Every structure is written in structure tokens, then in C-alpha cells.
């Protein structure tokens, strides 16, 4: 998709944990305020879309406890992303950033339905858009939703903000000797079984030649640095 301006178009994938104090559930006001400021700073130099997860409120099969079936559990997770999106929208608008929430599930009273052309138009008008509701289907993660929406809007890159500094050759939280990988191909990431993003999302990015940058969410200024093309974290290409 050709853009009418030369301004970079970026999709930022955030986990729900970005909105909450570490180790807690729900939404923490100061964490919400901080991430809104980071997004506001980054949005000045690009057309910015956000996909947000819902793990701070509901995390699929784990929280279902074997009682709630997978489809219902995933549907609940999609609703959790809508809650997060509305919270983030309020925080952004509180600091005068025009924002729209678009959902893949029909909640007309709360947010706009996702229509690709409308999403692109919002971006061209300088609004930050927040995609909620995942893909609208169970069995797909919000990583897959991020890859899908980024491809649909013609994003130049998918930025994935995580809890660690990038992609490692093993889990750095379990292995203190884990090594940070600065660059890796989609195929290598899939074949090595690296767990930073699910295989369906990686495959979709590979098919659409969409680069991914993975970096640490918790370092102040990292979102802006990634938007500006700084070499932080890991590039998957």
C-alpha cells in the first residue's frame, strides 16, 4: 500500500503488562500515564498504530483453570484488550494526543469497528490508533493480531516492546548466560524455536517482508528510539 506522505508508518505491539506495576494485575494509573507519555513522544515523528494485549487482566488458558474452555477463555482475553485500549485512549487524550480505538469485535457503543481504509485515514490525519480485540478469533495471539494489522495498514516495521532487552538464544530470566541476538532472519527465529513471538505471527511477517524490532519496554525513551531507527534490541528481517 502506497502512503500519501513519506512519514514512517509504524505498528507498536504492547503487552497488557505495560499498563500495570510489575508483579500486579489490572491497570496501575502511574504505569498507564508513563506509557502514554512514551507513545506521545514517539507519535510526533511517525504515523503510529498500537496493538495491545490483555494479559494484565486475563491470560487465556492459564486463568481458565481447566474450567473455562479455550474458545470462551480467548474471547474473554479479547474483551480484556478492549478494556486496555480504552484506558490507553483516555491516558493519551488526557495529554492531548488524538486517538481512536478500532476493534475486531463489534462493540459499537465503545469503539469503532476495524475497517482498513478508515484506519489508514485516521493515521493520515495524525491520530494514534489502538487496535483492540486481537484478530477477533480464538486460538490467535495478539502477536498474530499485530502482524496482521501491520500488514493490512502497510506498516514499515513492527515494533514489539517486551520485558527484556531483545531476543536471546535462551530465556535470560532462567539462564544468566543467555546471549542477546542483534539480528536474525525470520527463518532462523522459527527454526530455533525462539519464544519472543508465536510462529504464526513470524510467518505472516516473513510472507509480507515486514521487519520486526524487539526491545525493552521498561527503558525510558526506547519506543522513541526504535521509531527513530536507533539500533536497540533485536531486528528480525
Q: How far apart are the first and last CA of the chain?
A: 19
d(CA 125, CA 128): 9
All cell numbers assigned to 193: 524455536
According to the annotation, is 168 in a ligand binding site? yes
Extract the C-alpha cell encoding 124: 493520515
The annotation status of 30 as a binding-site residue, yes or no, is: no
Q: Is 99 annotated as a binding residue?
A: no
Torsion (CA) 234, 227, 101, 91 in degrees, nearest 10: 100
Is residue 133 annotated as involved in ligand binding?
no
Tell me phi and psi for residue 35, to 5 degrees.
-70, -35
Let me know: does 92 contact 129? Beta carbons within 8 Å.
Answer: no
Task: For residue 29, give Cα distances in angstroms to 18, 189, 227.
Answer: 11, 36, 25
163 is in an annotated binding site: yes
Question: Does the annotation flag 156 for ligand binding?
Answer: no
**Residue 237 known to bind ligand:** no
Residue 162 annotated as part of some ligand binding site: yes
Question: Is 196 labelled as part of a ligand binding site?
Answer: no
Answer yes or no: is 81 a known binding residue. Answer: no
Q: Is 15 annotated as a binding residue?
A: yes
Annotation-wise, does 136 bind a ligand?
Answer: yes
106 among annotated binding-site residues: no
- 234 a known binding residue? no
Q: Is 55 marked as binding a ligand?
A: yes
Asked whether residue 54 is marked as a ligand-binding residue, the answer is: yes
Q: Is 199 annotated as a binding residue?
A: no
Secondary structure (DSSP) of 29-89? HHHHHHHHHHHHHHHTTSEEEEEE--TTT--HHHHHTTTS-HHHHHHHHHHHHHHHHHHHH
69 is in an annotated binding site: no
Q: Which residues are annotated as a binding site?
A: 13-16, 54-55, 59, 74, 135-142, 162-163, 168, 171
Q: Which residues are annotated as a binding site for ATP?
A: 13-16, 55, 59, 162-163, 168, 171
Q: Which residues are annotated as a binding site for UMP?
A: 54, 74, 135-142
Amino acid at each position: 500500500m502506497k502512503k500519501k506522505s513519506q512519514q514512517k508508518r509504524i505498528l507498536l505491539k504492547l503487552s497488557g503488562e505495560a499498563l500495570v506495576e510489575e508483579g500486579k494485575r489490572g491497570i496501575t494509573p502511574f504505569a498507564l500515564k508513563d506509557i502514554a507519555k512514551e507513545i506521545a513522544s514517539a507519535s510526533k515523528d511517525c504515523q503510529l498504530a498500537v496493538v495491545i494485549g490483555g494479559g494484565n487482566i486475563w491470560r487465556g488458558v492459564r486463568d481458565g483453570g481447566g474450567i473455562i474452555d479455550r474458545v470462551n477463555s480467548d474471547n474473554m482475553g479479547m474483551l480484556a484488550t478492549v478494556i486496555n485500549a480504552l484506558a490507553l485512549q483516555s491516558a493519551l487524550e488526557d495529554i492531548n494526543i488524538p486517538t481512536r480505538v478500532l476493534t475486531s469485535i463489534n462493540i459499537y457503543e465503545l469503539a469503532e469497528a476495524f475497517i482498513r481504509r478508515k484506519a489508514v485515514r485516521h493515521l493520515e490525519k495524525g491520530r494514534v490508533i489502538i487496535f483492540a480485540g486481537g484478530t477477533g478469533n480464538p486460538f490467535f495471539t495478539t502477536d498474530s493480531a499485530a502482524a496482521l494489522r501491520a500488514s493490512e495498514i502497510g506498516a514499515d516495521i513492527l515494533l514489539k516492546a517486551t520485558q527484556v532487552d531483545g531476543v536471546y538464544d535462551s530465556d535470560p530470566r532462567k539462564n544468566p548466560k543467555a546471549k542477546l541476538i542483534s539480528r536474525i532472519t525470520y527463518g532462523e527465529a522459527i527454526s530455533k524455536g525462539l519464544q519472543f513471538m508465536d510462529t504464526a505471527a513470524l510467518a505472516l511477517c516473513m510472507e509480507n517482508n515486514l521487519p520486526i524490532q524487539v526491545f525493552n519496554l521498561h527503558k525510558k525513551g526506547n519506543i522513541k528510539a526504535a521509531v527513530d531507527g536507533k539500533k536497540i534490541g533485536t531486528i528480525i528481517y
